[in-house]
Each structure stands twice: as C-alpha cells, then as structure tokens.
C-alpha cells in the first residue's frame, strides 16, 4: 500500500515539475490577493491586523480552488485515469495519493508563505503561529473535499464554475474555524476547540473523501 502511495506521489510531483506554471499560478495568486488588501482597504496596521486572518484564509481557499481543476484532468485526457480504474489496486488509495501530491505542491507552499504574509498584515508572533497551524490543518481538508468536486465535474464543459458552486459551501466551516482560532486567542478564550474541530474535519476527510472521489470518478468515466 505504501509503495503504491509513494510511487503515485512521486509521479505526480515529477509531472508537475514539468509544468511549473501550474504550481506557480496558485502561489502568485495567493501572494497577490493578500498584498492588494493594504492598498485597497487601508495601510493602517491596526485595521489590517483585524482582517488579516480572514484575508489570508480566503486567499488560501481561492488559491486551492484555482488548482483543483487540474487534479484529474491531465490523467483523464491522456487515458491514464482509465488505466487506474482498471488496475487491481484500490482507486481510493490512488485518489488519496494524488490529493497528497496536490497538497504538497499547492497547500504546503501556502503554509510556508503564511508567516511572511502575516507579517505584512501586521500580525504578532503568536497570531502568526496560530494562523499558520490552522492553515496547516485546513488546507489538506480543502484538497480532500475539493477532489470530490473535481471528480464530479471531470470532462464537463464549464466545469470550473460548476466545481466552485459544488464545493464552496463545503469549505465554509473550515474557513470559519480557521479564522476563528486567531480571534479566540486574542479574546483569551483559547484555541483548543478550533484546533480540535479542524483536526476532526481532517480525520473525517481522510477516511471518507477518497472513497467518495473514487466513486465520482467511476461515474464520470462511464
């Protein structure tokens, strides 16, 4: 099982490195969206500090969505996806491998960039730490849930718009608890509940979404 996961992750990362523009587009989008808020809202640090968690989380959510459309499309177009469905290995395991590679290429760089953008928006050290941890826990959930929408809209004309309509409502709880952790810390009420809920979302997503995405892929391929 672990050898299959390792091979699939390595394959997807190598293929992505041949098309670096796909990876860099999401990262530049994330940076540009966050960087525009001091220009469009206010240069005052107190104002920016109050909206920083929400700005960074919304930018991370949109950057993740921007890359979800290509999660299965390349394999679908060259016939690889059909071969994966016919292989004796579990399709859900292969989906999990592809989602892991997607997160390593898009979600993990967002986690690395979050402290720098937090400093740009005037956040303190503890606030940046909490925000980065929420991004670390939340972005895998975004990729896992997004894989269901990507599988359902595979090969559909205008699938990007449909994908957004399908998965945006599912992202709302992650957005609420991710941004709420920083506010709770500043209010002195603690962040344990927010981290517990984000961890629960991550565990449930790991257990359920690969199977749901695999079933959606089979439906889309019929």
* Domain positions in the chain: 2-221
Instruction: Let me know if 113 is exposed, middle or buried by CB neighbors in 10 A (0-12, 13-18, 19+).
Output: buried
Local confidence band at 135 (pLDDT 50, 70, 90 cut-offs): very high
Q: What is the pLDDT of residue 199?
A: 93
Average pLDDT in the chain: 86
Element spanning 183, H or E: helix 159-187
> Which pTM was predicted?
0.88
Cα–Cα distance for residue pair 49/196, rounded to 1 Å: 25
Kindly report the number of other CB atoms within 10 A of residue 140's CB atom: 23
């Amino acid at each position: 099982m672990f050898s299959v996961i390792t091979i699939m992750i390595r394959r997807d990362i190598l293929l992505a490195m041949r098309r670096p523009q796909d990876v860099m587009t999401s990262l530049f989008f994330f940076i540009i969206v966050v960087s525009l808020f001091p220009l469009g809202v206010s240069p005052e640090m107190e104002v920016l500090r109050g909206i920083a968690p929400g700005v960074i989380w919304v930018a991370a959510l949109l950057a993740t969505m921007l890359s979800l459309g290509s999660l299965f499309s390349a394999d679908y177009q060259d016939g690889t996806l059909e071969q994966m469905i016919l292989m004796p290995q579990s399709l859900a395991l292969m989906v999990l491998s592809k989602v892991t590679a997607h997160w390593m290429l898009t979600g993990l760089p967002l986690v690395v960039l979050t402290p720098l953008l937090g400093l740009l928006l005037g956040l303190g050290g503890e606030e940046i730490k909490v925000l980065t941890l929420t991004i670390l826990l939340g972005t895998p959930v975004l990729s896992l849930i997004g894989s269901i929408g990507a599988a359902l809209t595979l090969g559909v004309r205008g699938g990007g718009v449909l994908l957004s309509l399908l998965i945006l409502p599912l992202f709302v709880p992650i957005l609420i608890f991710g941004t709420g952790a920083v506010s709770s810390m500043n209010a002195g009420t603690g962040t344990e509940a927010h981290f517990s809920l984000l961890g629960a979302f991550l565990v449930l997503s790991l257990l359920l979404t690969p199977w749901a995405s695999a079933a959606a892929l089979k439906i889309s391929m019929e």
